Amino acid sequence: MKNLFSLFAKNQSIIYKVFLFVSATLLVIYLLPKGGQFKYNFQKGKPWQYENLYAPFSFTIKKSTEAIRQEEEAIRDNAIPYFEVSDENITPISENFEILLGQNYVDSLYETSLKTTLRIGNSIIADIYENGVTDEIHAYDGNKLVYLKKGNEIEERNYSQIFKTDDLDKKVRAAVEANRSEDIQVLLYNLLKDVLRPNVKLNSNLTESAINSEINAINPNRGIIEKGGRIIAKGEVVEGDKFQILNSLKAEYQSQIWSKSNYLWLLVGYSLLVSLVFLMLFLFLKNYRPYIYNNNTKVTFIVFNILLMVFLTTLVLKIHASYVYVVPICILPLILKAFFDPRVGLFVHVLTILLLGFIVPNSFEYMFLQFIAGIVTILTISELYKRANLFISVGQITLIYIIGYFAFFVIQEGNIQTMEWQNFQYFIFCGLATLFAHPLIYFYEKIFGLVSDVSLLELSDTNSKLLKELSNKAPGTFHHSLNVANLAEASANEIGANSMLVRVGALYHDIGKMLNPTMFTENQANSVNSHNELDPKESAKIIIDHVIKGIEIARKNNLPDRVIDFIRTHHGTSLVYYFYKKEREIEGKANKEDFLYPGPIPFSKETAILMMADSVEAASKSLKEPSSSIIDNFVEKIINNQLEQGQFLNANITLKEIETIKKVLKKKLNNIYHLRVEYPE
């Protein structure tokens, strides 16, 4: 049991990666829709690349989405609306009319008698309420057939037979003209206008229910292809009827071939393909980014982002397939570039698009657009901490989507008359969603303990609390750190390393000296050296301890691990030679182990650059009469000595890059000491 526990402890990193690999694979398989993939790839407007295709079985031809949409529109246009009569009793209305007439009729004003006026009015009321009255306005033709619902009975009528309150004036005029009683027209109109009550309304629910019933009854098929019938010949253009037949075969193939009986084989196929994608990710990290591969947190972070994009895409597809371009896939390379480097961002983006290719419609079009957009993201955003860069890049990404989609549509349809321009809104929404990268980076930094260029920019502020404390307690060390930061940043820019990271690392690399600043020569205000009264071993221990104390201060102030790495490695496993030599002179011998820094040695280009810049800058203070040749030899000697000690064995830095850094350091030191050509007197 003890041996098993020991084996587990030694290989826990590998075991965790295996667990992460299996879990990620299973989760992606769970998220992917369970359906087979049609073995032929075809595009509308493109020639058929395969041999002549014959129907492997009989199947029905599905109507196109456009054809079904047209049928639905036709059903809505020709639908018979339902009107409901709420009350057919006209007696109260007639009574009200008679009362009002008695109150307003004056014998001396009208030639038509009261009795005749009452008869004409009741006749109009009876005629109006024969089929009901409505005050609603609808755009129906007068001859439009409508259903009039009276209680439980439904009668057919023309829309013109339902009386509209706006037609009252015309109705009254016709009635008085027929009775030659034009003198009472105004009186009748005003009285009837007051007593009439609409009793017919459009029953929208019943009408819509009838329409939906007809739409649901639409036959999605329009014909049948018998087994063995030729569907398409090689070289024939996939368009029109051929395109629809192929889509029908694809749908039928997936529903018939991929059934419960072979569901297990479907899972096996998906498992192998998804496993290959994640295997490529782990192999890439192991071979080309070992510093990421060896950090389980960083590997988890990358896998988490892949799963997040797969989850968001599948979720959107369940809502509506046309919304797939709203998912901001380009956030993935953008964030990974912010935390790692462009190559990692692009590689992970490509693998994620390969996974999404299983589930999205028009997978070739989708993958092409996302590949191009991802490349544009990597190429355009160089400094994410500059806000303008993100907005510019998002604008370029959106433009790429729009141009690509437009090109694909023209190729497939051959015109732009049928283009649905509202689809371009999805790309704009996608661009706006990509702006969410900044807050997302902040959350990731807090959750995963990573550091981005945005945080590095904040840490590089010399007015920050920790750097202010350094400048107050150890001004000489602070000045030295600034010089080292300038040298290291220039060197990093020259060889393509992360200049912002190396600058921040340089600013904080010596913060451990704050606890005992006068023990370091750059902070000694006078010629008195405190080390003269100490044993060489004690002096060496104080010098070496500034690394350990620096790490403690950094952790206390929540500096990121990537910055703490510079504190740990800036002396590597080098020797405190001055006190080692002094010990030998006093004692005649010295234990080398007592004068060595604990390490580790640099393990990246950036930490290697800092070691070189720090050693050269610190030692340059000892030059009494610096000249160009002296500085050149001095830089060569220090860096070559570090090479001989094997300080750069773990750093992914080449000899050519080291030679480039030497040139930069020589040039910068020459500028610092203002060396000029000696002119003859």
Residue 4: the pLDDT is 62
User: In the structure encoding, which two tokens stand for residue 586, read together?
Assistant: 């006093």
d(CA 149, CA 82): 7
Using 50, 70 and 90 to split pLDDT, how confident is the model at 295? confident
Q: What is the pLDDT of residues 570-580, one digit of tens each?
A: 999 988 877 77
14-41 mean pLDDT: 83
Residue that has been written with the tokens 């205000």 in this structure? 525
In angstroms, the Cα distances linking 365 to 43, 357, 361, 368, 660 are 9, 10, 9, 5, 44
Using 50, 70 and 90 to split pLDDT, how confident is the model at 677? very low
Residue 325: the pLDDT is 87
Residue 674: the pLDDT is 59
By the 8 A CB rule, do 237 and 47 touch?
Answer: yes
φ, ψ of residue 672 to 5 degrees: the values are -60, -40
Domain regions of the chain by residue span: 9-26+263-448, 37-63+219-257, 75-214, 453-672
pLDDT at 483 over 90: yes
Side-chain-facing half-sphere of 653: CA atoms under 13 Å: 32
d(CA 408, CA 283): 35
Cα dihedral 75, 76, 78, 81 sign: positive
Mean pLDDT of the chain: 84
By the 8 A CB rule, do 257 and 36 touch?
Answer: yes
318-331 mean pLDDT: 87
DSSP annotation of 601: P
Helix (H) or strand (E) holding 510: none
pLDDT at 557 over 50: yes
Report the amino acid identity of residue 356: L
Using 50, 70 and 90 to split pLDDT, how confident is the model at 567? very high
Vertex 193, ends 189 and 194: CA angle to 5°?
A: 125
> Could you tell me whether strands 59-62 and 221-225 are parallel, antiparallel, or unpaired per DSSP bridges?
antiparallel
Report the amino acid identity of residue 147: Y
411-417 mean pLDDT: 72
Vertex 119, ends 100 and 125: CA angle to 5°?
A: 70
Of 121-125, 539-543, 584-588, the least confident: 584-588
The proportion of the chain whose per-residue pLDDT surpasses 90, expressed as a percent, equals 27
75-91 mean pLDDT: 83
52-63 mean pLDDT: 80
Instruction: Specify the 3-state DSSP secondary structure of 580.
Output: helix
In angstroms, the Cα distances linking 383 to 379, 456, 457, 502 are 11, 11, 10, 15
pLDDT at 679 over 50: no
In angstroms, the Cα distances linking 78 to 146, 163, 217, 338 are 11, 22, 15, 58
By the 8 A CB rule, do 124 and 188 touch?
Answer: yes
User: Residue 431: which of 328, 574, 571, 517 has the closest Cα?
Assistant: 328
pLDDT at 678 over 90: no
Report the amino acid identity of residue 229: G
Q: Does domain 453-672 have CATH number 1.10.3210?
A: yes
Query: Which residues lie below 8 Å from residue 205, measured CB to CB, with a gap of 6+?
Result: none
User: Residue 563: which of 612, 613, 497, 607 has the closest Cα?
Assistant: 607
Using 50, 70 and 90 to split pLDDT, how confident is the model at 260? low
Cα dihedral 488, 447, 338, 442 sign: negative
Vertex 456, ends 454 and 458: CA angle to 5°?
A: 75
Residue 99: the pLDDT is 86
By the 8 A CB rule, do 528 and 583 touch?
Answer: no
314-338 mean pLDDT: 88
358-376 mean pLDDT: 86
Give Cα 455 to chain centroid, integer Å.
Answer: 21
